[in-house]
Structures are given as C-alpha cells and as structure tokens.
C-alpha cells in the first residue's frame, strides 16, 4: 500500500508540474486595459463649437457674428463750387443732398447668439443686435428668437421671430451671402423687414426631393406686435429633382426650382400712429435703398402746402390687400452656380398727411387710397477658385445645427469665390392724390461684381463693386441726385461668424 500511495503521489506531482510549466506566470504589476476614449463634452464638430452633456440631452452652440464695413462712393457728386448744388448749401451741412452717401467705416452687424438642442428634438435660437437701435414702437433689439419642435422630418414646427419663408435669399443667413447684402429685389422691394413674429410648419419629402414651409405671421415687421389683428399668410416650396440620387454629391441635392407667396389684409395701420412732420412714422412702408444705403424711394416726404400754407408731410402705409409671389431657381454644379429669383407684389396703400399748424398740435388726415405694384428680379453667376459649392451651408434653408460626429474636422480651410449679379426692380405708384410726389414709375438697374476670400467658413473678407442706374417718371425719382446717371459704390467687409 505504501508503494501504491507513493506512485499516486508521484503522478499528481507530475501533472501539477506540467500544468505549471504550461501556464505563464503573471507579471508583478499587470497594466489595466486601455479604456475607449470618451466623446468630448466641448469642442468643434460639423462646423459648430459646442457644449454638451454625456447623453446629448442638451447641446449648446455658442454663436456670434461681427461685420465691419467700409463704404466708398467714387462719384458722390459735385462740390458746391462746381455748380451742381445751390450755392447756399455747404458741404456736409444738414441740407447737403449727398449726406446719405459719405465714405465711412462702421459696424454693420454685431450679434451675440446662442443656439441649442434639448432632448434631441427641441431646438432654440436667440440673438441680440448691438449695431442698431430698436425702431419706434418695436419691442426690442432682438433679431432671432425662436423654438423648433423637430420629431418628424416631414412635419416640424417653428415659432417666434425669424426670417420669413419668402424667397430663397430671405431664408439665407447674412453670414453666407455671396454679396454683402441681399439683392435689392428681396432686401428693399419684397421683404424689407427680413424677419417677423409668427409660427410655421415645414419639412422635407422623402429623400429630400422637396421642401415646404407655411406660416402665419403678424406681418408688421421685425420686433413689432400685430397692429390690426390681421395676420399674414406666407409660404415657400421647392422641388429638388436630383436629390434622390445625389449620394455624396451634395450639390445635386441643392439643385431646385421653387416658389413663394404672401397674402395679408391690412386695416388702417397709420390711423392710431402719432403724426410726424420730421421723419417716418411707425406704420410707414419701408424706404428703399441701394446696397450702399443711398435712398431712391421714400414713403414719407414733404409734399407741398395745405390751404393754410402749412408744410404737409405725406406718409404711405399699407391699407387693404397685400399680395406677393415669387419664383426661384438654385442651380449649383461643382465649382460654379447660377441663381435666379423673380418677385411680384401689389400693395394697397393709404396716404396719411401730417401738418404742424402754427401754435397748434400736429394733425393727421387720411388722403386718397393708392397702390404700389411691380416686380423685382436678379440673376447671379458665381464660381469658386479655391473650394467648391459645398464650402458653405446650403442657401435658403437655415437649418438648426446638429452634432453628427466627433472626428477631427475635415472642412476646407481656404476658399475664394467670384460672383457677378444683375438686379432690377420696376414698379408704379398710382391712385394717390393728384400731384403727390410719389406718383409714377420707378426703375432701377443694378450691376454688381464681388469677391469673397474665406479662412474657413467663419472668417470672411469681401469686396463689392456696385453700379446703380435709376430711371422712371416719378417726381420723387426725378428729384434724386443720381437720376439717369450711374451711381458707383465700392464696399468692403471683414467679418467673423461662429
């Protein structure tokens, strides 16, 4: 038995020694396995700086824009000694008609903004403007202030103050215009207030082959409450026929044709407004200017004398139906592109006449009803020398920012784009009291050339040359300093936008 026990013990020791020999000994201090890198809680992705919580329940996008402009007017007009102005008018005096086109440097826009997303479905945007002051009657200097409810790609809700869904250019951020400002057909003629207070539904068809937006707005301009209880109905739609097969070619998604419409009923907007004999009143139709700010149509102006020889200041304000419609085409292709829009509008007007009798209070009387009717259009051709049509965000959409990936940005760092543009507006003012200075035809031709140098899409250096030619038979047009002769503008901008 002793021998069998010894044999068994020897076999166990042999098996144990073999197992130990085949199992490598553990190192004295084993290094822990490397953990997967955590996604950043702050940084830069998809063209946006961001702050977020680990679950993306909230994501904040700090935003800002600053645009510093320099305007130069090569043919500001002859001096007093040249005889083109009355000899009694001194240069740069209050009566110098060239005052609105002085060479100057100024801050065009200065905004602090914040965009964000809560629970991946609720977007917001709030922005304050520091380069301008609120208009008379406005509720503040807020530019954008809205919320988007985004659960379904084909049905989203947006409410607050934002760019009206009328024309492609009006729904393009001023950070990414091809020129320093929107075309005169959109900026001055069709949507002079740019933004309004209201709500709209919008969304995409499958595979992004179509887009629509339809909203109800106050219709009285940026930062104004409704003046007459009547809303404006505004909408826009386009079809992108190549989007379904675009793949990685984003420019194919951006080829579209579309249309916009605007209808509203105004009722005596100028009635409750205080009289003014020195300038515009709250409800006046917005004035029209060139890109450099030179006025060619005013809705408030001195308009002769009344029976008591008091100076009359006439104001034109909407009263009745406003009907606008527009067509658009966006045609990019790799490094070049063509863009076109046509706008028609018919605005029913009322004539309000303000006087200041001697030793009496200002008075306001309602004159004749009138109409502003006409069209505006532009045609633009652009090309990229550095970069391509994908360098900037798609125009006409103003999509809310999203974080899609956290990989290092592969965005292009440099871009250089050239553009040429023809703009035109042609409208008539009719039906006012005979002899009113605003009656007649207004015709403006605009030729523009521009260059944009980009250091990423956030820093921009721009130069624009603009030539304006004003024609028509209205007394107001004929009294313009540059009637039937070219007015030249050299405009430059240095801008930063987050």
Q: 10-residue block means of pLDDT along the chain (498 residues)?
A: 44 42 49 62 87 90 96 79 54 78 92 93 93 70 93 97 97 94 96 96 96 96 89 98 92 96 95 89 92 93 86 94 98 96 97 87 90 98 94 92 69 92 98 94 98 95 97 93 93 96
DSSP E strands: which ranges in 207-335? 210-217, 232-239, 256-266, 288-289, 295-297, 300-305, 311-333
- What are the tokens at 241? 């026929």
Res 135: pLDDT = 67
Query: Is CATH 1.20.140.10 the classification given to domain 39-497?
Result: no
**Distance separating alpha carbons of residues 358 and 157, to the nearest angstrom:** 54
| Cα–Cα nearest to 191, from 159, 229, 165, 217 | 165
**Distance separating alpha carbons of residues 382 and 450, to the nearest angstrom:** 9
The domain ranges of the chain are 39-497
| Cα–Cα nearest to 331, from 405, 392, 253, 227 | 253
Q: Residue 471, class by beta-carbon neighbours within 10 Å (0-12 exposed, 13-18 middle, 19+ buried)?
A: middle
Query: Cβ neighbours of residue 195 under 8 Å, at least 6 residues apart?
Result: 143, 144, 161, 162, 163, 164, 221, 222
Answer yes or no: are the C-beta atoms of 184 and 444 closer than 8 Å: yes
Neighbours of 7 (CB within 10 A): 10
Answer yes or no: are the C-beta atoms of 49 and 43 closer than 8 Å: yes
Q: What distance, in Å, lies between the first and last C-alpha atoms of the chain?
A: 91
Backbone angles phi, psi at 429, to 5 degrees: -110, 120
Burial 377-398 (b: 16+ CB within 10 A, else e): bbbbbbebeebbbbbbbbbbbb
Q: Is 176 helix (H, G, I), strand (E, B) or coil?
A: coil
**Distance separating alpha carbons of residues 39 and 35, to the nearest angstrom:** 12
- What are the tokens at 53? 């919580």
Q: Is 16 helix (H, G, I), strand (E, B) or coil?
A: helix
Answer yes or no: are the C-beta atoms of 191 and 167 closer than 8 Å: yes
pTM of the model: 0.87
Q: Is 150 helix (H, G, I), strand (E, B) or coil?
A: strand
CA 477 to chain centre: 28
Beta bridge partners of 488: 467
| Cα–Cα nearest to 300, from 233, 354, 225, 224 | 354
Q: Is 5 helix (H, G, I), strand (E, B) or coil?
A: helix
């Amino acid at each position: 038995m002793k021998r069998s026990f010894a044999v068994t013990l020897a076999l166990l020791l042999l098996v144990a020694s073999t197992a130990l020999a085949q199992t490598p000994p553990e190192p004295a201090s084993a290094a822990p396995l490397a953990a997967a890198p955590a996604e950043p809680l702050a940084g830069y992705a998809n063209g946006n700086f961001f702050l977020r919580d680990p679950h993306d329940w909230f994501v904040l996008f700090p935003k800002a824009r600053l645009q510093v402009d320099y305007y130069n007017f090569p043919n500001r007009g002859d001096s007093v000694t040249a005889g083109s102005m009355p000899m009694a008018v001194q240069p740069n005096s209050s009566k110098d008609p060239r005052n609105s086109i002085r060479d100057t440097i100024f801050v065009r826009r200065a905004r602090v903004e914040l965009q964000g997303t809560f629970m991946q479905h609720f977007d917001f945007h709030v922005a304050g403007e520091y380069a301008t002051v609120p208009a008379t009657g406005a509720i503040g200097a807020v530019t954008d202030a809205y919320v988007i409810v985004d659960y379904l790609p084909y049905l989203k809700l947006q409410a607050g103050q934002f760019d009206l869904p009328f024309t492609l250019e009006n729904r393009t951020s001023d950070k990414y215009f091809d020129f320093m400002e929107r075309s005169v057909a959109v900026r001055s003629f069709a949507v002079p207030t740019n933004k309004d207070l209201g709500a709209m539904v919008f969304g995409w068809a499958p595979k992004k082959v179509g887009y629509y937006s339809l909203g109800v707005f106050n219709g009285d301009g940026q930062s104004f409450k409704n003046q007459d209880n009547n809303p404006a109905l505004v909408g826009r739609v386009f079809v992108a026929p190549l989007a379904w097969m675009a793949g990685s070619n984003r420019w194919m998604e951006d080829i579209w044709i579309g249309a916009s419409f605007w209808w509203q009923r105004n009722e005596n907007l100028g009635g409750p407004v205080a009289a003014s004999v020195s300038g515009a009143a709250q409800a006046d139709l917005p004035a029209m200017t060139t890109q450099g700010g030179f006025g060619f149509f005013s809705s408030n102006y001195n308009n002769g004398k009344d029976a008591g020889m008091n100076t009359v200041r006439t104001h034109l304000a909407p009263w009745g139906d406003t009907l606008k419609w527009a067509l658009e085409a966006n045609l990019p292709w790799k490094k070049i592109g063509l863009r076109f829009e046509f706008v028609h509008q018919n605005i029913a007007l009322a004539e309000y006449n303000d006087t200041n009798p001697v030793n009496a209070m200002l008075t306001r009387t309602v004159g004749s009803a009138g109409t502003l009717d006409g069209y505006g259009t532009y045609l633009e051709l652009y090309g990229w020398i550095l970069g391509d049509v994908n360098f900037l965000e798609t125009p006409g959409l103003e999509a809310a920012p999203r974080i899609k990936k956290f990989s290092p940005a592969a965005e292009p760092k440099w871009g250089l784009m050239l553009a040429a543009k023809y703009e035109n507006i042609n409208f008539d003012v009719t039906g006012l009291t005979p002899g009113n200075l605003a009656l007649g035809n207004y015709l403006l031709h605009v030729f523009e050339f521009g260059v944009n140098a980009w250091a990423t899409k956030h820093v921009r250096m721009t130069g624009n040359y603009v030539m304006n030619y004003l024609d028509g038979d209205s007394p107001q047009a004929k009294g313009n300093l540059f009637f039937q002769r070219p007015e030249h503008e050299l405009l430059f901008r240095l801008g930063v936008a987050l």
